[in-house]
């Protein structure tokens, strides 16, 4: 039976590595039926639980890792994973206890010192955090400052994160993740211009990474919302459009749905008809996205009628040549 259980365990690990978590748990459940005393089975059940989006399921990982430790008291990997769950739920003392046990069992495992440093930063003990970080690498090189910046970011000490990530980037200007993490810190501080600059640097170095584009589009949306709240409708509309150019699937929240329409009306008042048409074209795309995701046909039809009525008015103000181009574009778009 043990042999069959170990085969199921290996199948579960392969499923986990390919992110097929549902299948992984099926194999692990079957493995327990074959042999309930294999610590690695409970360890991987805990690993699967940590991938769930529901915090209640993530919490069950603690019991799984604990059972693995009960069956194998020197199972340092289980202590490490259990400590990460405790840290996720801000149980600092429990997390610290598990991480220190990892140090006792495997002092050469450097990643654990980063988590211990993170705990000390959250407590405000920066000097103690530095002592833990010195176990990873000596100060002065980019990896040291990068790791420190990452820890400060996780601890929500955004200014300190920016300071250290900047030092890392000064040492290594090709550090893609350095730009990305610094962008996240800038974003948290609502320093959107700086965040976008860093994301553009990351894109230049790794253009195939989709998350850089998604995050950039979301920042444009955040800037747009801020401008809309301040009453700067035209600027808000321009920023929404910048975000939509990057990711057409982004959803404009209900309280901001009228921004593009209001911007178009303002543009028409100022006889900026070409700009009004642009705003309304993007408004149509936003409604199309909503219809695909959630709008019923009646609401979709009503909203489109409103936009198309404004569009006719805006198009009338265009020069003849532009009206012809618009007409041709509409024909070919159908």
The pLDDT of residue 46: 97
Residue 77 forms part of a structural domain: yes
The pLDDT of residue 168: 93
Q: How many domains does the chain have?
A: 2
Burial of 169 (0-12, 13-18, 19+ CB in 10 A): buried
Residue 325 forms part of a structural domain: yes
Vertex 52: Cα angle to 22 and 12 (nearest 5)? 35
The pLDDT of residue 130: 78
Residue 156 forms part of a structural domain: no
Stronger pLDDT, 190 or 323, i.e. the higher one: 190
Residue 6 forms part of a structural domain: yes
Region 211-237: mean pLDDT is 93
Question: Are 243 and 221 in contact, with CB atoms under 8 Å apart?
Answer: yes
**Lowest mean pLDDT segment, chosen from 95-99, 230-234, 325-329:** 325-329
Region 247-267: mean pLDDT is 87
pLDDT at 325 over 70: no
Exposure string of 208-218, with b = 16+ CB inside 10 Å and e = fewer, is eeeebeebbbb
pLDDT at 72 over 70: yes
pLDDT at 296 over 80: no
The CATH number assigned to the domain holding 16 equals 1.25.40.10
Vertex 23: Cα angle to 22 and 29 (nearest 5)? 95
N residues, the chain: 334
Q: Which of 82, 109, 136 lies at the terminal end of a domain, its last residue?
A: 109
Note down the domain range covering 75.
1-109
142 confidence band (pLDDT: 50, 70, 90): confident
Residue 213 forms part of a structural domain: no
In degrees to the nearest 10, what's the CA dihedral of 23, 28, 33, 37? 180
Q: Which of 68, 83, 109 lies at the terminal end of a domain, its last residue?
A: 109
The pLDDT of residue 31: 94
Region 267-290: mean pLDDT is 86
Residue 33 forms part of a structural domain: yes
321 confidence band (pLDDT: 50, 70, 90): low
CA distance 178 to 147: 10
Residue 212 forms part of a structural domain: no
CA distance 143 to 159: 18
Question: Are 169 and 179 in contact, with CB atoms under 8 Å apart?
Answer: yes
Residue 142 forms part of a structural domain: no
Q: Which of 109, 138, 173 lies at the terminal end of a domain, its last residue?
A: 109
pLDDT at 327 over 70: no
Q: How far is CA 208 from the centre of its chain?
A: 16
CA distance 116 to 98: 10
Q: Whole-prediction pTM value? A: 0.58
- The closest alpha carbon to 158, from 123, 128, 186, belongs to 186
């Amino acid at each position: 039976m043990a042999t069959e259980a170990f085969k199921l365990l290996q199948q579960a690990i392969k499923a986990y590595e390919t992110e097929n978590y549902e299948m992984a748990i099926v194999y692990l459940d079957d493995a327990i039926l074959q042999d309930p005393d294999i610590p690695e089975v409970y360890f991987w059940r805990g690993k699967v639980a940590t991938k769930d989006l529901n915090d209640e399921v993530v919490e069950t990982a603690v019991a799984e890792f604990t059972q693995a430790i009960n069956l194998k008291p020197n199972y340092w990997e289980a202590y490490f994973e259990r400590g990460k769950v405790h840290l996720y739920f801000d149980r600092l003392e429990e997390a610290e206890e598990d991480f220190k046990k990892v140090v006792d069992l495997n002092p050469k495992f450097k990643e654990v010192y980063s988590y211990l440093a993170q705990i000390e930063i959250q407590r405000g003990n920066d000097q103690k955090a530095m002592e833990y970080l010195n176990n990873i690498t000596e100060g002065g090189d980019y990896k040291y400052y990068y790791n420190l910046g990452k820890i400060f970011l996780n601890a929500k000490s955004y200014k300190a994160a920016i300071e250290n990530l900047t030092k890392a980037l000064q040492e290594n200007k090709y550090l893609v993740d350095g730009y990305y993490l610094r962008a996240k810190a800038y974003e948290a501080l609502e320093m959107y211009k700086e965040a976008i600059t860093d994301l553009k640097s990351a894109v230049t170095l790794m253009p195939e990474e989709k998350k850089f584009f998604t995050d950039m589009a979301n920042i444009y949306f955040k800037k747009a919302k801020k401008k809309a709240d301040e009453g700067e409708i035209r600027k808000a509309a321009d920023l929404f459009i910048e975000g939509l150019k990057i990711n057409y699937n982004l959803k404009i929240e209900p309280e901001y749905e009228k921004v593009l329409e209001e911007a178009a009306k303002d543009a028409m008042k100022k006889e900026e008809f070409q700009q009004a048409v642009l705003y309304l074209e993007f408004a149509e795309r936003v409604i199309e996205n909503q219809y695909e995701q959630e709008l019923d046909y009646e609401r979709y039809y009503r909203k489109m009628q409103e936009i198309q009525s404004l569009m006719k008015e805006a198009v009338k103000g265009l020069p003849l040549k532009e009206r012809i181009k618009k007409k041709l574009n509409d024909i070919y778009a159908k």
